[in-house]
Amino acid sequence: MMPYKIDFQDLRHRIEKLGYSKILLQLPEGMKIYATEIADELSDYEVFISANPCYGSCDIEVYPDFLTIQFGHAEIPNIGYPDNIIFVEAFSTKDFKPVAEKFLELCDARRIGIVASVQHVNAVQDVASFFKSRGREVFIGKGDARIRYPGQVLGCNFSAAREVNHEVDCFVFLGTGHFHAVGVSIATGKKTYVLDPYTESVEDVEKIADRIIRQRFGLIVKAEEADRFGIIVSSKIGQRRVRLALALKEMIESTDRKAYMIMTDNVRPENMYYDVDAYVNTACPRLGYDDISRFRKPVLTPIELEIALKFKLWEQYAFDEIVEVDK
Cβ neighbors of 173 (< 8 A, separation 6 or more) are: 115, 116, 117, 153, 180, 181, 184, 192, 193, 194, 195
**Is 80 in the same domain as 159?**
no
Q: Residue 31's domain is classified under what CATH number?
A: 3.40.50.11840
Q: Residue 168's domain is classified under what CATH number?
A: 3.40.50.11850
The reply to whether 76 falls in a domain is yes
Q: Which helix (H) or strand (E) holds 86?
A: strand 85-88
Statement: the pTM of the whole predicted model exceeds 0.85: yes
The residue type found at 287 is: L
Please give the pLDDT value at position 79. 93
Which of 188, 204, 220 marks a domain boundary?
204
Number of domains, the chain: 3
Same domain, 251 and 307: yes
Domain boundary among 57, 90, 123: 90
What gap in Å lies between CA 189 and CA 86, rounded to an integer?
36
The DSSP 8-state label assigned to residue 76 in this structure reads P
> Among 85, 317, 320, 118, which Cα is nearest to 210's?
317
Query: Could you tell me which residues come within 8 angstroms of residue 223 by beta carbon, excluding any fewer than 6 positions away?
Result: 277, 278, 298, 300, 304, 305, 308
- pLDDT of 178: 92
**What residues does 264 pair with on adjacent strands?**
234
How much is the pLDDT for 87?
95
Say how many C-beta atoms besides its own lie within 10 A of residue 110's C-beta: 11
Say if 327 falls within a structural domain: no
Question: Is 312 found in the same domain as 238?
Answer: yes
Question: pLDDT value at position 118?
Answer: 92
Give every CB contact of residue 56 below 8 A, 6+ residues apart in sequence.
Answer: 28, 73, 154, 155, 238, 284
Q: What is the pLDDT of residue 292?
A: 78
Tell whether 70 is covered by a domain: yes
| Amino acid identity at 120 | H
What is the distance between the alpha carbons of residues 87 and 168, in angstroms, rounded to a whole number? Answer: 33
Nearest to 6 by CA among 33, 37, 29: 37
d(CA 124, CA 283): 29
In Å, what is the CA distance from 94 to each residue of 1, 99, 153, 193, 275? 14, 11, 19, 18, 49
Q: Which long-range contacts (CB under 8 A, 24 or more apart) does 27-36 make?
A: 27/54, 27/70, 27/71, 27/72, 28/54, 28/55, 28/56, 28/71, 28/72, 28/73, 29/53, 29/54, 30/72, 31/2, 31/4, 31/71, 31/72, 31/90, 34/2, 34/4
Whole-angstrom distance between the N-terminal and C-terminal Cα of the chain? Answer: 39
Q: What is the pLDDT along the chain (327 residues), one digit of tens a residue?
A: 777 888 899 999 999 999 999 999 999 888 899 999 999 999 999 999 999 988 889 999 999 999 999 999 999 999 999 999 999 988 888 999 999 999 999 999 999 999 999 999 999 999 999 999 999 999 999 999 999 999 999 989 999 999 999 999 999 999 999 999 999 999 999 999 999 999 999 999 999 999 999 999 999 999 999 999 999 999 999 999 999 999 999 999 999 999 999 999 988 888 899 999 999 999 998 887 877 778 889 999 999 999 999 999 999 999 899 998 987
**Are residues 132 and 72 part of one domain?**
no
- Do residues 130 and 229 share a domain? no
Residue 4's pLDDT is 81
Host domain of residue 197: 97-204
The pLDDT value recorded for residue 241 is 96
| Residue where a domain terminates, one of 62, 90, 118 | 90
- Residue 323 falls inside a structural domain: no
For residues 282 and 86, give the distance between their C-alpha atoms in angstroms, rounded to a whole number. 26
Question: Domain check: are 265 and 186 in the same one?
Answer: no
Residue 148: what pLDDT? Answer: 95
**Measured distance CA(290)–CA(174) in Å, rounded:** 20
